[in-house]
Amino acid sequence: MNCAPEPVLELNNLSKSYNDLPAVQNISLTVNRGEIFGFLGPNGAGKTTTMKCCAGLLRPSGGSVYIAGFDLARQPAAAKALLGFVPDNPYLYDKMTGHEMAVFAARLYGAATEGLPDKVISYFRLFEMEAECKQLIQGYSRGMRQKTALVAALLHQPSLLLVDEPTANLDPRSSRLVKDIFQSLKAQGRSVFLSTHVMEIAENLCDRIAIIAGGKLQALGSMEQLRKQIRGGSLEEIFLALTGGDDPETQKVLQELIRAEGER
């Protein structure tokens, strides 16, 4: 007997406006347990605003967010306890070491203290930061900061990991490791909700994908379902068809620029 998917994230008509200017408009979607879900859109489409609403960092102007059945607005502590969040520009405490920052974050989420320091070291070892994690964060590169934020978000074993641009600033090896970690979370029955501009990551890693433009949901489904909804082979082609990147006027301007450059 087939069991119905168990939702770990539910957005119901989610909306967010800034000074009466709509950034997100009536978005409804569900991320199921054990699913890697991609959230795509051009710059300014409302992706980061949506993710911050899901993380409880922004209060929606309308609609609701549920985390594993908990209403984020009415049961924030219970809902947030199940989350891990890595924003596109993580804020870390410069006067802490990476190890201290990760332990601090884990303890905020109520992680058990027994064995925690060794667990932190094992995570940093994965990212080849075993020595660097004992240094102050103020000396970290952007990539090291991204790795530290990921470690801090994973230690309490969240049911849902929210990640905005997961491979930003990472080298190819670390990017591959992040993908492997996401697959491991999926195998454990946990979920990943990620926003990315890297089409290859979304197409090859995600079980389902949502595409938004202008703050509105344009398409939602697996790659197979998206190909049926919108004629196109690759995710890039589907994305451009939905967001206007391949419209005739854009292509005309592009060709004129290329021609002008060639005449110099």
Stretch 204-227: mean pLDDT, rounded? 94
C-alpha 32/C-alpha 51 separation (Å) is 16
Whether residue 2 lies inside any domain: the answer is no
Q: From 157, 191, 206, give the residue that closes a domain.
A: 157
Only one residue has tokens 């190890």, namely 99
pLDDT in tens, 105-133: 999 998 888 889 999 999 999 999 999 99
Amino acid (1-letter code) at residue 241: A
66/177 same-domain check: yes
219/104 same-domain check: no
Query: Could you tell me which residues are beta bridge partners of residue 191?
Result: 160
Kindly state the greatest CA–CA separation across the chain.
68
For residues 170 and 146, the answer to whether their CB atoms sit within 8 Å is yes
Query: Checking DSSP bridges between strand 208-213 and strand 191-195, what pairing results, if any?
Result: unpaired
75/194 same-domain check: yes
pLDDT in tens, 41-75: 999 899 999 999 999 999 999 999 999 999 999 99
Q: What is the pLDDT of residue 228?
A: 87
19/64 same-domain check: yes
225 confidence band (pLDDT: 50, 70, 90): very high
Query: Could you tell me which residues are beta bridge partners of residue 70?
Result: 67
Position 249 pLDDT exceeds 90: no
Stretch 215-243: mean pLDDT, rounded? 89
Whether residue 43 lies inside any domain: the answer is yes
Position 251 pLDDT exceeds 80: no
Position 247 pLDDT exceeds 70: no
Stretch 22-31: mean pLDDT, rounded? 96
Q: What is the pLDDT of residue 259?
A: 58
205/107 same-domain check: no
Q: What is the pLDDT of residue 231?
A: 74
C-alpha 40/C-alpha 202 separation (Å) is 8
Which are the contacts of 147, defined by CB distance < 8 A and separation ≥ 6?
A: 124, 127, 129, 170, 174
251/187 same-domain check: yes
Pseudo-torsion of CA 159, 47, 236, 263, nearest 10°? Answer: -150
Whether residue 89 lies inside any domain: the answer is no
Domain extent, residue 220, equals 7-82+158-262
For residues 178 and 151, the answer to whether their CB atoms sit within 8 Å is no
Whether residue 32 lies inside any domain: the answer is yes
170/188 same-domain check: yes
How many residues can be counted in the chain?
Answer: 264
Domain total for the chain?
Answer: 2
Q: What global pTM score does this model have?
A: 0.89
175/59 same-domain check: yes
Whether residue 224 lies inside any domain: the answer is yes
Whether residue 87 lies inside any domain: the answer is no
Query: Checking DSSP bridges between strand 7-18 and strand 21-32, what pairing results, if any?
Result: antiparallel
Position 242 pLDDT exceeds 60: yes
Q: What is the pLDDT of residue 84?
A: 95
3 vs 49, more confident: 49
66 vs 241, more confident: 66
CATH of the domain at 224: 3.40.50.300
171/70 same-domain check: yes
122/32 same-domain check: no
136/184 same-domain check: no
